[in-house]
Structure 1
Amino acid sequence: MHTVMKKLFAALCLFFMLLSAPLFAENQTQLYKAGSLAEILKARQGKPFILMFWSLDCASCMKDLDALAASVKKYPKLDLVMVSTDDAEFAGEVSEMLAKHKLGQVESWIFSDSNAQRLRYEVDPSWYGELPRSYFYDASHNRLPVSGAITTEHIDAWVAAVNP
């Protein structure tokens, strides 16, 4: 009888651990390297999305995180990809900041190459590193680059344009 109780207790513990796992799951930040943009685009073939580059030490970026969080709440199907330009060693802090701004479940990347200029050039040869930098892609992957802060109004207008 004692062994049966132990097995039942272990099974119940396992059941509750599995049941609660999604509550604690956080999106894993992926390493952004040469070729990552092509991977992001391929995964979204024929679909509109927003690609945002940001950094932990960018004050304007924090305002954008709040605007993006409000938009993700308003438009649950909004496809948002966040790329931190910080060094890969800060991946934990990046995940924490996204979670703090209620963006913990969006797709997240962090620069893995110490040559950030090369990664930026691959994204956009006319981008010199100013942050925040957002790209609004339509379903055909035509894109609108925006340097500087964005607002929920910017996002609302884009959503209306890509989802007539």
Structure 2
Amino acid sequence: MPALLEPPARGVRIIELWALYCAYCETNLRAVAELSAADAGVQAVTVNTDRNASAAAVLQRLRSAQATGVPARAYAGASVQRLNYLIDPRWGGEMPHTVVLHADGTRRSASGTLTAERLKALVEGPKEGPKEGPRP
């Protein structure tokens, strides 16, 4: 978990949290995979949050979303709420959930379906105004 949450040396890291039961997650998996493939400054990792999901089911969903080229992780252990909190203390567990870590230590997150514009805003950040600060 610490390595996953470490800000990247440059660019951004997108952590895409998803679940097998989530109807909208495949859209986000595809969007993140496409952006990661198109932009060398974007690292992406998918994290399946289902407790006890079979590897076959997870891989099938990643294939369906054309996201098998993105590093994939899965929750393990009994403390799902603790893992959720470590990834994003403001997150209530709704799916899908996207966390973007910037090289400068700032982070942005959003729940729900990603449009191209919404993903771009998370990656680039607002043109003006304060950024969400580094994690405590």
1:81 is the counterpart of 2:45 = yes
* CA deviation after TM superposition for structure 1 residue 55, in Å: 0.5
User: Displacement of 1:111 after TM fit?
Assistant: 0.6
Cα distance change of structure 1 residues 129 and 157 upon mapping to structure 2, 3 Å threshold: closer
Q: 1:63 is aligned with what amino acid?
A: T
**1:140 alignment partner in structure 2:** 104
Q: Aligned equivalents of 1:88 and 1:47: distance in 2?
A: 33
Counting matched residue pairs gives 126
TM-score by length of structure 2 reads 0.78
- Alignment of 1:95 with 2:95, yes or no, is no
- 1:156 CA drift (Å): 3.1
Alignment-mate amino acid for residue 111 of structure 1? Y
For the residues of structure 2 that align with 1:74 and 1:128, how far apart are their CA atoms? Answer: 31
Decide whether the 8 Å contact of 2:10 with 2:41 is kept in 1: no
Q: Please, what is the CA RMSD of the aligned residues?
A: 2.3
Which residue does 1:119 correspond to in 2? 83
Correspondence for 2:128:
none
- SS in structure 2 of the partner of residue 71 of structure 1: helix
Q: 1:95 to 1:48 in 2, by over 3 A?
A: same
Question: Are the equivalent residues in 2 in contact too, given 1:68–1:152 (CA < 8 A)?
Answer: no
Runs of 5+ consecutive residues of structure 1 not aligned to the other structure? 1-35
CA 1:139–1:118 in 2, change beyond 3 Å: closer, same or farther? same
When residues 111 and 152 of structure 1 are mapped into structure 2, their CA distance, relative to the original with a 3 A threshold, is: same
Aligned in 2, Cα 1:104/1:77: closer, same or farther, shift over 3 Å? farther
Identity %: 29
Give 1:73 deviation, angstroms: 4.1
1:118, distance to aligned residue in structure 2 (A): 1.3
* 1:84 alignment partner AA: N
Letter in 1 for 2:14: I
Residue matched to 2:133: none
SS in 2 for 1:83: strand
Quote how far apart the aligned CAs of 1:107 are.
1.1
TM-aligned CA deviation for residue 142 of structure 1: 0.7
Q: Indicate if the aligned counterparts of 1:88 and 1:110 stay in contact, CA closer than 8 A.
A: no
| 3-state SS of paired residue (2:24) | helix
In structure 2, runs of 5+ residues without a counterpart are 126-136
In the alignment, structure 1 residue 44 sits paired with structure 2 residue 27: no
> Structure 1-normalised TM-score?
0.66
1:7-66 CA-to-partner distances (Å, cap 9, x unmatched) read xxxxxxxxxxxxxxxxxxxxxxxxxxxxx1x11134834441111111011011122123
| Range with bigger deviation, 52-61 or 95-104 | 95-104
